[in-house]
Structure 1
Amino acid sequence: MHRALRTHKSPNHSTHRSRRAAHHRRSPRAAQAAAAAVAVALALTACGGGSKDKKENGGTSSASASGDTVTLPKLDGESLEVAAVWTGEEQKNFKTVLAEFEKRTGAKVTFVAAQDPIINFLGSKIAGGQPPDVALLPQPGAIKQAVDKKWAKPLGAEALAELAKNYSQGWQDIGKVGGKQYGVYYKAANKSLIWYNAKVFENAGAKEPQTWQDLLTTAQTVYDSGVTPFSVGGADGWTLTDWFENVYLSQAGPEKYDQLSQHKIKWTDPSVKQALTTLAGIWGKKNYIAGGANGALQTEFPASVTQTFTGGDQPKAGMVFEGDFAQVNIGETKAKVGTDAKVFPFPAVGSAAPVVSGGDAAVILKDSKAAQALATFLASPDAATIQAKLGGYLSPNKNVPNSAYPNAVQQKIAKSLIASGDDFRFDMSDQAPQAFGGTPGKGEWKDLQDFLKNPTDVAGTQATLEKDAAAAYGSGS
């Protein structure tokens, strides 16, 4: 949450967010999702969706000067509620997409601001007999829980056809439960990026690192220039899980990552010890984190970004780790993405650089012609292209023109996202039971916050993580 985007991880961070939920057990392939390594310069031509030459089934969208590519039914007099935890610019931009759906169909759509975790919010709405028609769910586990509780409805033929045309198999698979398609992954996130203040790097003579050792060298170079190397939004525990996941995926490899994601190996495993010890190389380094551990634990994600790009060439920190959605927060400063604010992929800790992905899927809770039409629209390049042009957004839809993204950095991220296919891993904590991977002040979030405060206690942190994980996975909560 998604992220100022959602409180997902924060008041404005949605994608990515206190947005974790339910128990999620699935095969390693189904746990895969596409995300992108920004540094890869790929000669990829963006594909535009083909338009239709005639109206079908009374549809209002067809080949037209506006470039509509998806056929939608007439829905005059119909009304819909769409729930998501998005706030700020993210919510505003999504409402622009919904307005286009209204224009094309005649339906009336109301955005419902949900609290995090959204699965709990939906439970209360359903118990009160007032579920929204469609909800944007930020993790595979939440989709599974919605299906298990018989809240979610399968996608119809039109939405399935749009998915098949516009999405890789991997992005389709993570929206499935029991072989049936329930989710349309409307929004993606690349959570393997480190943003940096270009002026700080220039003054320090620092270079973009490619390996973890290079990152430590770069951090020392920045520190020696008089600027604290890292800003960490530790008040939002999800940022710390993202740090861990990137180190762990690169160092332990995809197979171990899948096993730990499903709790098939314990958090006391030596691979977890190795990852935590590696993280301590930054978290435990005196004066490497703005405000120290205590300051970081009082810094929410949006502030961790903005304080990296304010203060001229003497900001509170030179670098901040997080996904492509950080651009929304950078936009709140005077810094310009691609000039003042630059980005590099999370460095390789092991043999390959990690690519950790997240996303938000549209799920139908009240099956109707209007709800199915909205899911179909969100699966189309038409909807995603509208939001792509507004910035701070990344789509896994391969038929969104790359030129729709508003700057070169975002275009590069989007281009490599599409080229990445199915070969990457979805956010580990988003796959975990909510009690472990998605609740502020509890489970993995709390355990890693405690580790940030005392990064010498690797064994104690492992023991606590395993205790909390065993309880959560055992109960499925």
Structure 2
Amino acid sequence: MRRQWRSVRGVIAVAAAGALAASGCAPGGGSGGNGGGGALDGVELQVAAKWTGVEQENFEKVLDAFEKDTGAKVSYESTGEDTGAYLGPKIEAGEAPDVAILPQPGLLAEYAGKDALVPLEGDAAKALDDNYSDYWKELGSVEGEPYGILIKAAHKSIVWYRPDAFDEAGVEAPATWKDLTGEVSGTLSDAGITPFAMCGASGWTLTDWFENVYLSQAGPEKYDQLVAHEIKWTDPSVVKALETLADVWGEKTMMAGGAKGAVQTDFPTCVTQVYGQQKAAMVMEADFVAASVAEAGSTVGEDALTFPFPAVGDDAPVVVGGDIAAGMSEKKGTQELLAYLASPEAGTTWAGLGGYLSANSEVEAGAYADKTTKDLAQTILDAGDNVRYDLSDQVPSAFGGTEGKGMWAALQDYLRDPGDAKGTAEALEKSAAAADS
């Protein structure tokens, strides 16, 4: 088993760590965390990411393995939904975390441009090169320099549902948008079952809805043009996608609590509305919903099933997001932690906890906790040239990833009252132009 995350100088300096590396034991088997002399004894590191709840708990278990194997102490702090708003003042004050988990490539480029990031080097750079495909390497690079590692991928073209609700209404998983918004949702409503729980208070979930509709309806070429702002957000293709979203967002009976309830419900409360409270039959969000499903007492693959986001145009969309680990300090241990996070050991540990997908090609399918997640991981690999990275995460964060601004605010307003698609497109264009200036 590869140990590329391990510091070479640490292995040489600490005989116990060297013996562990030679033995090929899994992380957690070293003596560092037990006072036996680890390669990074006495080193304290801080990691910041947006995760809370089960996602945070699972990530901290991954960090625990690094601590036990090296002797380092790693503290975790949540940035909240707006990672940029958290990190900006920290960077200005010289108090940035040693490693930041960035939810947008746009932030990676922004911080690299401000010299707020440290390029990957040594074992961290080697782990990235050995364990990741060219697409993911490019995603974490700025002007050809590697800065980030996609440590957690997210398949964002998924609809989660309760099979008992579908059975009660006598419907099956749809293949097209027309089937979803017509027969399936209509039959559920007729049976007294609200079709969707919406996570509108978490604006990023609304961008996921838009991206799936737009990619399938307008196609990959238009999608790329919109990302690069080569076409305006007032383009007819954007207006058409917004009007299509109104098939769900504009129908009060479609959403738990109606428009008012939808825009006040955050993630992961929307998942609880489906699987804990049974207030709705479906929720559209990424594979990481699995962690909240388990917390609600349901089992993925049994009473929590999925179907692909249905085709709006010719092809069903495959939108992928993810979180990128980047170093923000030159402190000893930073590159070692990044190398560990890029290792198959870390990915394998995380995969077994659920609610996780890896972009690391060395993480085997058998590492995942359930068949559903295994299948989703394979779907990303099979999508080929049609897969696209999350649009809102590629544009400037002021437009695509800031609470109360840009896409989040415009789509929340549209969810409240989806009666003016052209006006919403104009608001999106105004925000996009301001972010570019």
Q: TM-score, normalised by structure 2?
A: 0.91
1:408 corresponding residue in structure 2? 371
2:176 and 2:310 in contact (8 A); partners too? yes
In 2, the alpha carbon distance for the partners of 1:309 and 1:88 equals: 17
2:84 and 2:397 in contact (8 A); partners too? no
1:62 corresponding residue in structure 2? 21
In 1, the alpha carbon distance for the partners of 2:379 and 2:61 equals: 26
Shift of 1:62: 2.2
Partner-residue secondary structure (3-state), 1:102: helix
1:279 and 2:245 correspond: yes
* Alpha-carbon distance change, 447 to 134 in structure 1, aligned in 2, over 3 angstroms: same
* 1:267 aligned partner, one-letter code: W
In 2, the alpha carbon distance for the partners of 1:127 and 1:466 equals: 30
2:197 and 2:282 in contact (8 A); partners too? yes
1:397 and 2:356 correspond: no
2:287 corresponding residue in structure 1? 324
Mean Cα deviation higher: 87-96 or 105-114: 105-114
Shift of 1:409: 1.1
1:390-436 Cα distance to aligned partner (Å, 9 max, x none)? 11111111111212211121121123334446652111111222222
Shift of 1:356: 1.0
* Alpha-carbon distance change, 180 to 284 in structure 1, aligned in 2, over 3 angstroms: same
Equivalent residue runs for 1:163-178 within 5 Å = 163-178=128-143
2:3 and 2:24 in contact (8 A); partners too? no
Shift of 1:65: 6.2
1:243 corresponding residue in structure 2? 209
Equivalent residue runs for 1:63-462 within 5 Å = 63-64=22-23, 66-67=25-26, 74-216=39-181, 217-311=183-277, 315-420=278-383, 423-462=386-425
Shift of 1:262: 1.8
* 2:432 aligned partner, one-letter code: A
* 2:266 aligned partner, one-letter code: E
2:82 and 2:403 in contact (8 A); partners too? no
1:30 corresponding residue in structure 2? none
* Alpha-carbon distance change, 55 to 156 in structure 1, aligned in 2, over 3 angstroms: closer
* 2:372 aligned partner, one-letter code: V
In 2, the alpha carbon distance for the partners of 1:133 and 1:56 equals: 20
2:84 and 2:402 in contact (8 A); partners too? no
* 1:201 aligned partner, one-letter code: F
Shift of 1:114: 2.4
* Alpha-carbon distance change, 196 to 383 in structure 1, aligned in 2, over 3 angstroms: same
* Structure 1 gap segments, 5+ residues each: 1-48
* Alpha-carbon distance change, 402 to 87 in structure 1, aligned in 2, over 3 angstroms: same
* Alpha-carbon distance change, 90 to 460 in structure 1, aligned in 2, over 3 angstroms: same
1:381 and 1:397 in contact (8 A); partners too? yes
* 2:349 aligned partner, one-letter code: I
Shift of 1:349: 0.8
* 1:457 aligned partner, one-letter code: D
1:168 and 1:421 in contact (8 A); partners too? no
* 2:366 aligned partner, one-letter code: S
* Alpha-carbon distance change, 434 to 55 in structure 1, aligned in 2, over 3 angstroms: closer
Partner-residue secondary structure (3-state), 2:188: helix
* Alpha-carbon distance change, 349 to 88 in structure 1, aligned in 2, over 3 angstroms: same
* 1:253 aligned partner, one-letter code: G
Partner-residue secondary structure (3-state), 1:429: coil
What's the % identity of the aligned pairs? 50
Shift of 1:125: 1.9
* 2:343 aligned partner, one-letter code: S
Shift of 1:289: 1.4
Q: Which has the higher contact order (CA 8 A, sep 6+)?
A: 1
Partner-residue secondary structure (3-state), 2:392: helix
1:41-81 Cα distance to aligned partner (Å, 9 max, x none)? xxxxxxxx5579x9965523525363469x99922222211
In 2, the alpha carbon distance for the partners of 1:471 and 1:212 equals: 33
In 2, the alpha carbon distance for the partners of 1:50 and 1:434 equals: 35
2:44 and 2:73 in contact (8 A); partners too? yes
1:232-284 Cα distance to aligned partner (Å, 9 max, x none)? 11112211111000000011011111111121111110101111111111211
Equivalent residue runs for 1:20-39 within 5 Å = none
1:16 corresponding residue in structure 2? none
1:13-41 Cα distance to aligned partner (Å, 9 max, x none)? xxxxxxxxxxxxxxxxxxxxxxxxxxxxx
Shift of 1:120: 2.9
Partner-residue secondary structure (3-state), 2:21: coil
Partner-residue secondary structure (3-state), 2:264: coil
Q: TM-score, normalised by structure 1?
A: 0.83
1:46 corresponding residue in structure 2? none
1:10 corresponding residue in structure 2? none
2:427 corresponding residue in structure 1? 464
In 2, the alpha carbon distance for the partners of 1:174 and 1:160 equals: 14
2:320 and 2:390 in contact (8 A); partners too? yes
Shift of 1:85: 2.0
1:171 and 1:422 in contact (8 A); partners too? no
Alpha-carbon RMSD = 2.4
1:193 and 1:346 in contact (8 A); partners too? yes
In 1, the alpha carbon distance for the partners of 2:290 and 2:24 equals: 31
